[in-house]
Amino acid sequence: MCLIAFAFDAHPRWRLVVAANRDEYYHRPTQPAGWWSDSVSRERWYAGRDLLAGGTWLGLSRGGRFAALTNFRDGQATPGARSRGELPSGFLAAETTPMAWLDRLASDGQAYGGFNLLVATLQAEPTMAWYGNRDPSSPHRLDPGVYALSNHLLETPWPKTLRLKQQLLDALADTTMDDLERTLLAALADTEPASDDSLPDTGIGITWERVLSSAFIRSADYGTRCSTVLAVDRNGVASVIERTWPRPDEAAGTLRERRTTFVTTPVAS
């Protein structure tokens, strides 16, 4: 996952609203969103799946646990690093609070390449937290509000994070789930690049900074693989839509759209 805007406990109807794009190499095998779990958890979660390393980038469990991941872009590789995709599924399978889980992760956070991880529990008293392993002051519990995250620290004001955050704020005025989905999916499909004078310098060169500056990314080998809009209302009803995008060399008709609605309820202890 490379771009996320989310509203946490900031709307009279919704406990959580998320608009997110996952960007990845086209050759990396991926399973679209569906129900799965690990071999020992009594939880099940709705998420896409990375078939190379087995993890995910965004998911929501039947027990009301949410997790999402972005990579931190600094132009550096971490030899021998563990797969970051195991982090969201690890939280979805856990039973501890968001801050307790992140505090434990922080002690081993440098075993992974750079990442940002959002985790939440969305029951009667929603709690959300963020940990970035390139920010020594994190993890942090998040106050109710609207936030945006890409491949730097939470709320870093990159052009596309600022734009998507504002589009989410505007979308929260919509009155139906259909309107919310339509507005946010259009925002996630935005291919407009940022101006050169507003681009960050993350160590990858100006050409790639331009390519990666739009919400929706297309290049020969790398781009936006899926777009997700997720909303959980205050009765615990979750609605998720995922659009899986074709590669540039595939026909446009291979776009796939998946929808699901389910009720999140706490898992009995």
Give domain limits for the chain: 3-263
Rounded to 5 degrees, what angle do the CA atoms 199, 132, 241 make? 80
**Does residue 80 register a pLDDT over 80?**
no
Residue 83 in 3-state DSSP? coil
Maximum pairwise Cα distance, the chain: 53
**Which architecture characterizes domain 3-263 according to CATH?**
4-Layer Sandwich (3.60)
Give CA separation, 261 vs 22, 91, 232, in Å.
Answer: 21, 21, 10
With a pLDDT cut of 70, the percent of the chain lying above it is 96
> Between the CA of residue 74 and those of 208, 209, 212, 220, 227, what are the distances in Å?
12, 12, 13, 21, 24
Among 130, 112, 13, 117, smallest CA distance to 58 is for: 117
Token output for 264? 């999140």
> Does the pLDDT value for residue 256 go beyond 50?
yes
pTM of the entire structure?
0.95
Tokens 């896409």 belong to residue: 48
Residue (of 242, 253, 230, 3) closest to 122 by Cα position? 230
Average pLDDT, rounded, for the chain: 93
> How are strands ordered across the β-sheet holding 237-244?
145-149, 3-8, 14-25, 222-233, 237-244, 256-263
Question: pLDDT tens across 96-145, in order?
Answer: 999 999 999 999 999 999 999 999 999 888 999 999 999 999 999 999 99
Quick check: helix, strand or coil at residue 70?
Answer: strand
Q: What are phi and psi of 158, to 5 degrees?
A: -70, 150
- What pLDDT score was predicted for residue 269? 47
Residue 267: per-residue pLDDT: 63
